[in-house]
Chains A and B, each alone.
Chain A
């Protein structure tokens, strides 16, 4: 008996241990009856070489077609017939395809979506096709639901029988006339070899162009031309999402276009037309745009967007795949051809309500999910946060570098020449692109946790179109995933009753019975969850027409506001969780969309005439990466200098702006009510200099202000004259250039203080980089002022201190002596105690705090009476990864012994350090690597220690960064602890802090600016930080709510200028016009 018990226990134990406790189970098709495979058989006549979207897969549409309360499944395939499965309950599905008459007559199908096309309250099915090439025949087909589990193909009747190159279609009522219109998403099929101008999109092509089809009752009319919808020859439309992005009651559209056509962001003008506003709201988009989806990830009632691309995470794949453009080609594409910035990674856009979106995919941890097709937001674990599922994979990787450069040639060459066809065998040489799908758990602060290992199976496959719905009626969200050459997968959510939910269906007047376009605002315990009902999401599929919310352990929802498509609304109160309710319009009131616009007091108002300060900084054409190919970022674009001070001694403050190479510096003198540019010849003379920093002050105590200019630009090197800083003294007759110590450096900061207490201003000059030798540490200097004449200190305390970016004179230890604090890149903030005229470094920070520090300013952020220090850093929204245990590393050495140095940046991943760049980039500088690694595969997956010999690495200097977060040093009895800022301030590098009482409440605040573009396309562009106002640690407001227009601007410096006793904010911007803001309070 005992033995039996023991065996019994063992079995339970065994079973329990082996049972994969994933959030989603995958029952087999045998168990469910859902037998369907999108089988693709490449042949010599048709394969990926002939048709570029050969691997895009089919479609999935979920809907209750027979109104029995169970969600049914429609599947389309490329070469197979369509299938319709009825849900019999208990996850049992029955194939009713024959009876239903939906098998289809087109030879190549793509997306499948469900919607009530004829407005009778029953879900119809629209199936897209590619027709007219490669022998594909047929057309898009429309299956009108007869209500008895049969359908009648009626595409021609409704004028929806297009024979073009269709990907998918979306339903929306764009003219708010009550019926559902259709946006048909088409794609081009030719390979665009030359970029071609962006204006190609204005020339309509019926096969490749998207179409907006207005529902006219019994048929649809193509209104694309009048509606302003592009239908060009270069549109590779692969994904579409509908949402009211600007919350004005009219649905808008986001279209993801593959290759170099930009994505489209169509804002509905409310009069039957749309305007593409992409460049106004997005600083950059995905490059090879595939799936996209919309939801509110941060509980502010605004729809956010994710767009997918193909950036791998796995080192083996990453380092064998073709990467991003180089920076010169990016300039070509954007400046010459008119395209917008595009980068190869996923993008997550956080809606800022009528201000440009924040882009945070890297910060949020969702940027790299390999060749990704469908992205779908839903609260899978029902904890109240939106989670994210991403399907991915491709049968063969056509962008594998070994295949492209080495393997392909031998096989393909012969065949191409002889037969103009490509051998199947040649295709076999491409590596497999089977990968596991991804799922991310949403959290409160814009970050997602990768739960792929815990929530779903890690089986590798090629998954594409995906749809969401509750298939087993247990309340939680399940998934149906279409695969290539494999059975369709069912992901059955096991959350069940562990967490609470609510499902909302709508019973809206015909012809929009399902209430497409309805908005729902759910409030519980002060928390808002917002959703809009659009079923076409992700990629080539449509999900169930139900709104689903998760509530964790909360039992009752305080209120739910339903805003109907006709701009009326009603509120439900005290709704119990764990049920599905059907809501129909009842006692509705008109909804005022204006009420959604959060009225924030705009502290700043742009002055239209800029107060006469029409300064335009123009960067020169120098690209650091041309000279040093591997450096992490540029240092030549840190200007222009700006200094405020009275230059003509008339009691009014004037402005000095530095110029870039060959552009002269400019001076604006304050006149009666405006500033007027004045040419001060001697200052404009040195136009070859790149003026990066400047200071106006009276250095020789003659009551006339002088000017000190620090030069840089990282272009001049060695002992070139333009690297000498300049010192101009003002005399009765104007300015003269004075003697100044000769040191040849790239300046970054000048801060003046009479540190030796002898009555005249001494100066600290911080230098940032050694031109042409990134990694070599420049010297920074204290210049001692002797009655107006500067000299270098005998014993320079700041030789080789670091790559300095900012400095302040401040008494950090409250001992009455003003000390010096330095910050810079690849170093920790350094505190130098002023001990009666000499400087001693003091360690006041306990943790390791090396960063890419850009700015420092003293400020009591926690309002506890002592001074903290705000630190601007690189931000967490980049491909760099840094933690205290696993810092970001930069190896610096002459790796190939040829007299010039290189820098190799490495991230820590899974136990080792890997170079960020691949073989092509590294070998372009270190040619010996081409000998060592004759294939990309041989270097992929190798850590830095496996790539370079120990002897070489041993002679390298290793720079580290422990944190990339901007934040503040909290003062605790003159010891400092670093506290990072909220994620909204980590979106870009921070470039400037400005302290002032902006709202005139008697207390000072800090205005923050940032953004930076001096990186390669690999890193993207840090362009979406809108600035921020820090009132205190817990009170931070983003600049876009305050009237600032910093989006897509690399704001270099913020200053207060005063004219006619009124203060203004002057924002000096790199390579752009300066901006002037009035303080409205």
Chain B
């Protein structure tokens, strides 16, 4: 009898051990989880219609939160504390708890993303379905990771909310003066107000000020046929005529449309209007980051690192670009072409609602491509499928630089920029990318 009781007890203990073991599987977090989290935010941003500069802010803060959490547990990555001068250390994790750092990183990312967008329910639904799975898999690890993730998110949130965004919401609108012909005015069809005229007041990350890479001024506005400006204007008009002649299947149109990245193209038919929405320029490069990380088979931490460094460069690129846009306040080609050459001319792309110089896509592409090169290398060829959901094809690039160069010129093909804006712009962006690469030491060499 005693023997039987003993074996029963042992069996019971064993059973308990086994069953506990079933509940103590670590929660597996793969790079795909992070990719999906970012994809979800992009979806919501498209729905909520975030403008390109504001979108860059929505990317960068959650990424930094995720990165900082990983850096707590991976000595091959350095924290950004003291590298970004106004950023102090995040709360340290309680090492006694079984924190799953990638999990905490994703939780922090989701939480901050939710704060930054408008349609919270969409993010919440995604989050809750994941939470259910994770909690069922390993409730103890989940709780510890969640607690830590949210704690860091809260900290980052406090830091984030001091970046002047709230104050810029109520700052003055850009004032239009249609008598000043060289000055930007709203463009058809919606004649929207100039977006984010105070974006240069947003706290930057690595550049020391919005004007650190202030570019040379654009060619001075003049309708004198011998002036540089006039020649640039004519160039845009001539290019568009050539492209239109070539027809819908021309390579130039394909390039222009591929890099349109206009989050809100309004289509009017009489009283009926609707919006055709897409990702922003920043989101396009975030998408390229995803492709690079996947092709590179980067592990979770490297993936997060890539997104973070790239989104920091993109964020600063917008601050620098918008600083110049609302300094030179240059009029768009469409306004002048309609007034002087052809009142029925329409650019191939819809002119976005902000001044012309420098080209946002050029600056952002320049910056992002340098950072991605520093992570993944030169001549990293890839197939860019980011625009497939928007009915555009895949395009192949030999390198990030190749993609950035094409993005820049695409704005001229699109009829929405003069040459100076894209050539100077991409250079402006590259300088920012180089600064970010130099100044931020994130990976142990």
B175 within 8 A of A: yes
Residue contact A194 to B188, C-beta cutoff 8 Å = yes
Contact A416 B276 (CB under 8 A): yes
A600: interface (CB < 8 Å) = no
Given A195-B188, A328-B186, also A409-B277 (CB < 8 A): yes
Interface CB pairs A-B, < 8 A, 17:
A49-B269, A194-B188, A194-B346, A326-B193, A332-B191, A398-B270, A399-B273, A404-B266, A409-B277, A621-B175, A626-B172, A629-B173, A896-B169, A898-B166, A900-B167, A926-B169, A931-B120
The smallest beta-carbon distance between A539 and chain B, in angstroms, is 16
Chain B 114-138 near chain A by CB (<8 Å), digits 1 or 0: 0000111100000000000000000
Question: Judging by beta carbons under 8 Å apart, are B169 and A332 in contact?
Answer: no
A52-B272, A621-B175 known; A931+B186 contact, CB < 8 A: no
How many B residues are at the interface, by size bracket? 35 or more
Q: Chain A residues with Cβ under 8 A from B391's Cβ?
A: 413-414, 417-418
Known: A48-B269, A326-B193, A927-B166. 20 other contacts (CB 8 A): A48-B272, A196-B343, A328-B173, A328-B175, A335-B179, A399-B272, A404-B266, A408-B274, A408-B275, A409-B46, A409-B276, A413-B390, A416-B276, A417-B391, A418-B391, A622-B175, A627-B173, A898-B167, A925-B169, A934-B118
Q: How far is the CB of A336 from chain B (nearest CB, A)?
A: 5
CB atoms of B175 and A191 under 8 A apart: no
Q: Does B386 contact A (CB under 8 A)?
A: no
Cβ contact within 8 Å between A934 and B271: no
| B260 CB, min distance to chain A CBs, angstroms | 13
Q: Mark B38-69, 1 if CB is under 8 A from A, else 0.
A: 00000000111100000000000000000000
Q: Give the CA-CA distance A412 to B390 in the complex, in Å.
A: 12
CB nearest to B392 among chain A residues: A417
Bound Cα distance A417, B393 (Å): 12
Point out the residues of chain A lying under 8 angstroms from B118, CB to CB: 930-931, 934
Cβ B166 vs Cβ A896 within 8 A: yes
Q: Which of A308-338 contact B (CB under 8 A)?
A: 322, 325-326, 328-329, 331-332, 335-336
Contact with B186, one of A52, A332, A416 (Cβ below 8 angstroms): A332
Verify A191–B269 contact, CB threshold 8 A.
yes
Q: Mark A405-445, 1 if CB is under 8 A from B, else 0.
A: 11011001110111000000000000000000000000000
Q: Which residues of A contact B166 (CB under 8 A)?
A: 896, 898, 927
Residues of A within 8 A of B191 (CB): 195, 325, 329, 332
A719 contacts the other chain (CB 8 A): no
* Residue from the list A329, A331, A927 in contact with B169, Cβ < 8 A: A927
Does A205 lie at the interface of the complex (its beta carbon under 8 Å from any beta carbon of B)?
no
Knowing A405-B49, A896-B169, say if A191 contacts B274 (CB, 8 Å): no
Within 8 A of A (CB), among B260-285: 266, 268-277
Does B217 touch A at the CB level, under 8 Å? Answer: no
Nearest Cβ distance between residue A208 and chain B, in whole angstroms? 14
Cβ of B185 under 8 Å from chain A:
yes
* B178 part of interface (Cβ distance < 8 Å): yes
- If A332-B186, A336-B178, A626-B173 touch, whether A52 touches B276 (CB-CB below 8 Å) is no
Chain B residue at minimum C-beta to C-beta distance from A935: B119
Which residues 125-173 of B sit at the A interface, judged by CB distance below 8 A? 166-167, 169-170, 172-173
Residue of B whose beta carbon sits closest to that of A332: B178
Q: Does A816 lie at the interface of the complex (its beta carbon under 8 Å from any beta carbon of B)?
A: no
Give B179 Cβ to nearest chain A Cβ, in Å. Answer: 8
Knowing A193-B188, A197-B343 are in contact, say whether A413-B177 is a contact too (CB < 8 A). no
Q: Are B271 and A288 in contact (CB under 8 A)?
A: yes
A1046 adjacent to chain B (CB < 8 Å): no
Q: Among A52, A325, A625, A898, which residue has its beta carbon within 8 angstroms of that of B269?
A: A52
Q: Does B189 contact A (CB under 8 A)?
A: yes
Residues of chain B in range 196-244 having any CB-CB distance to chain A below 8 Å: none
Distance (whole angstroms) from the CB of B265 to the closest CB of chain A: 10
- Expressed in whole angstroms, the minimum distance between the Cβ of A329 and any Cβ of chain B is 5
B51 to chain A, nearest CB (A): 12
State in angstroms the CA–CA spacing of A754 and B211 once bound together.
57
> Which residues from 177 to 235 on chain A have a C-beta closer than 8 Å to any C-beta of chain B?
191, 193-197
- The yes or no answer to B176 lying at the interface (CB within 8 A) is yes
Q: Which residues of B contact A584 (CB under 8 A)?
A: none
What 1/0 flags go to A887-929 for Cβ under 8 Å of B?
0000000001011101000000000000000000000011100
Cross-chain contact B178 with A412 (CB below 8 angstroms): no
**9 tightest A-B CB contacts, nearest first:** A52-B270, A417-B391, A398-B272, A408-B274, A194-B188, A193-B189, A626-B173, A898-B166, A627-B172
Binary interface encoding of chain A residues 932-971 relative to chain B, with 1 for a CB under 8 A from any of its CBs, else 0: 0010000000000000000000000000000000000000
Give chain A nearest CB distance to B257 CB in angstroms: 11
Other-chain contact of A898, B46, B169, B176 (Cβ < 8 Å):
B169
Chain B residues lying within 8 Å of A331, measured Cβ to Cβ, are: 176, 178
CA distance A288 to B272 in the complex (A): 13
CB–CB A621/B189 < 8 A = no
Q: Closest approach, in angstroms, between the C-beta of A188 and any C-beta of chain B?
A: 10
In the bound complex, what is the Cα–Cα distance between A49 and B273 (angstroms)? 9
A162 within 8 A of B: no
Q: Is the CB of B185 within 8 A of A332?
A: yes
Task: Please name all residues of chain B whose beta carbon is closer than 8 Å to the beta carbon of A409 when the two chains form the complex.
Answer: 46-47, 274-277
- A927 / chain B contacts, CB cutoff of 8 Å: 166, 169
* Minimal Cβ-Cβ distance residue in B for A418: B391
A627, B269: Cα distance in complex, Å: 33
Bound-complex Cα distance A625 to B170 (A): 11
Q: Do B274 and A902 have beta carbons less than 8 Å apart?
A: no
CA distance A35 to B272 in the complex (A): 32
Contacts of B169 in A (CB 8 A): 896, 898, 925-927
B98 interfacial by beta-carbon distance below 8 Å? no
Identity of the chain A residue whose Cβ is nearest the Cβ of B168 in the assembled complex: A898
Q: How far is the CA of A418 from the CA of B167 in the complex (A)?
A: 43
Report the separation of the CA atoms of residues A627 and B172 in the bound assembly, to the nearest whole angstrom: 4
A269 near B: Cβ within 8 Å? no
The reply to whether B269 and A899 contact each other, CB–CB distance below 8 Å, is: no
Is A623 located at the chain interface by the 8 A CB criterion? yes
Is A403 at the interface (CB under 8 A from chain B)? yes
User: Complex formed: what's the CA distance from A622 to B177 in Å?
Assistant: 10
Interface residues of A in 18-57 (CB under 8 A from B): 48-53
Verify A412–B269 contact, CB threshold 8 A: no
Asked whether B338 is an interface residue with its Cβ less than 8 Å from the other chain, the reply is: yes
**Chain A residue with minimal CB distance to B44?**
A934
> Nearest chain A CB to B178's CB is how many angstroms away?
5
Chain B hits for A900, CB < 8 A: 167, 170
Interfacial chain A residues near B120, Cβ < 8 Å: 931, 934
Give the distance in Å from the alpha carbon of A629 to the alpha carbon of B266 in the complex. 23
B78 interfacial contact with A, CB 8 Å = no
Chain B residue at minimal CB-CB distance from A188: B270
| B187 closest partner in A (C-beta) | A194
CA distance A336 to B176 in the complex (A): 12
Q: Quick one: which of A50, A412, A621, A896 contacts B177, CB cutoff 8 A?
A: A621
Does B300 touch A at the CB level, under 8 Å? no
